């Protein structure tokens, strides 16, 4: 009988380990900023941005809660896409809530003024608690278990296509390169995150001029499974040639109730060939129902919300499941 019990325990352990062999991605509601947590099957973590400061530690507490749900006790790599309040503002409060080992950024901040300088100095102060890493296009962020390739940083983009990409982009015909962006948005770190055959893309708030450089006249990125919609779904980003060239199967937008979710952007993403579903962190109150996804696919439907997150669980074969923590709805997408 004792042998039977041990065998059952070993079988249960094997089943548990098999079930846990997924990449987990938590899109955390920071109400119009960004905080996206990636957790590998072996427990290594990468957090992209930290949301806003203040608000009674709202964003750092929501990030810490998602980390706890994922079994994460520290952030191995914190990637700050750029130095705007809604992306780096919560870094000090986050560093108090969770230890951060590596701080990844694009280098010096580019904007002038007292507020911009204070924000940057706060980031540098927090980064002194760990190891600071400055990346450039083509670099790899060494998260164990993932292939994280930097596509853009500090206003530059990769010069050569990633493996399997490089085909012409038909949508570039008749589409002129947009005017250069001089803000921190255009210096955003953009990344292609691969786990086996699963590919996700997060470009921060990268603007249309640099999107153009990445896909026109040839597509340097190729198709992805999951598109973390750029710039909260606003119009300075998410150009038609870029969105259509990456051809996502699923889109996930980190908008707020009154920020992001631009109708034109929503339609551009929705009309992308091959897109199956469009998930949102918030119902975009300032647009119409026709330019919001069905409530089933939205984590927070009211302006006053509980900060519900959306989780993506990806397998190495490219199959992934998206789960809405508000209504417990989930949907699985099979590999291409």
Query: 249 or 9: which carries more pLDDT confidence?
Result: 249
Which uninterrupted H or E stretch holds 96?
helix 91-97
Residue 6 has pLDDT above 80, yes or no: no
Per-residue pLDDT reduced to its tens digit, 141-187: 999 999 999 999 999 999 999 999 999 999 999 999 999 999 999 99
Q: Where do the domains of the chain lie, and which CATH numbers do they carry?
A: 21-333 (3.60.15.10)
Residue 110 has pLDDT above 60, yes or no: yes
DSSP one-letter string for 140-199: EE--TT-EEEEEEETTEE-SSPPTT---B-GGGTT-PPPPPP-SGGGG--EEEEEETTEE
In this predicted structure, what is the pLDDT of residue 89? 97
Integer Cα distance of 57 and 48 in angstroms: 18
CA angle 285, 286, 292 (to 5 degrees): 60
Let me know: does 154 contact 107? Beta carbons within 8 Å.
Answer: yes
In this predicted structure, what is the pLDDT of residue 8? 45
Residue 13 has pLDDT above 50, yes or no: no
Residue 213 has pLDDT above 80, yes or no: yes
Residue 7 pLDDT class (50, 70, 90 cuts): very low
DSSP 282: E
Residue 20 pLDDT class (50, 70, 90 cuts): low
Residue 271 has pLDDT above 50, yes or no: yes
């Amino acid at each position: 009988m004792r042998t039977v019990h041990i065998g059952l325990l070993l079988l249960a352990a094997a089943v548990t380990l098999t079930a846990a062999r997924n990449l987990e991605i938590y899109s955390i509601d920071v109400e119009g900023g960004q905080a996206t947590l990636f957790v590998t099957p072996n427990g290594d973590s990468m957090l992209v941005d930290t949301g806003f400061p203040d608000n009674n530690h709202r964003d750092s507490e929501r990030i810490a809660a998602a980390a706890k749900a994922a079994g994460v006790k520290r952030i191995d790599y914190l990637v700050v896409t750029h130095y705007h309040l809604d992306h780096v503002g919560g870094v000090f409060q986050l560093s108090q809530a969770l230890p951060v080992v590596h701080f990844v950024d694009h280098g010096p901040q580019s904007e002038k003024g007292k507020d911009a300088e204070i924000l940057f100095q706060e980031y540098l102060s927090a980064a002194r608690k760990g190891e600071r890493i400055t990346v450039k296009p083509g670099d790899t962020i060494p998260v164990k278990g993932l292939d994280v390739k930097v596509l853009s940083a500090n206003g530059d983009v990769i010069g050569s296509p990633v493996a399997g990409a490089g085909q012409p982009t038909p949508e570039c015909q008749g589409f002129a390169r947009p005017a250069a962006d001089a803000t921190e948005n255009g210096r955003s770190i953009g990344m292609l995150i691969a786990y086996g055959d699963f590919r996700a893309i997060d470009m921060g708030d990268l603007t249309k001029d640099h999107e153009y450089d990445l896909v026109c006249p040839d597509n340097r990125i190729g198709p992805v499974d999951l598109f973390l919609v750029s710039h909260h779904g606003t119009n300075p980003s998410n150009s038609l040639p870029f969105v259509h060239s990456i051809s996502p199967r699923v889109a996930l937008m980190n908008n707020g109730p009154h920020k992001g979710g631009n109708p034109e952007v929503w339609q551009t993403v929705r009309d992308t060939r091959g897109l199956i579903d469009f998930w949102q962190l918030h119902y975009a109150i300032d647009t119409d129902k026709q330019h919001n996804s069905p409530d089933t696919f939205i984590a927070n439907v009211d302006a006053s919300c509980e900060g519900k997150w959306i989780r993506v669980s990806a397998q190495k074969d490219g199959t992934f499941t998206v789960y809405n923590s508000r209504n417990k709805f989930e949907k699985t997408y099979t590999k291409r």
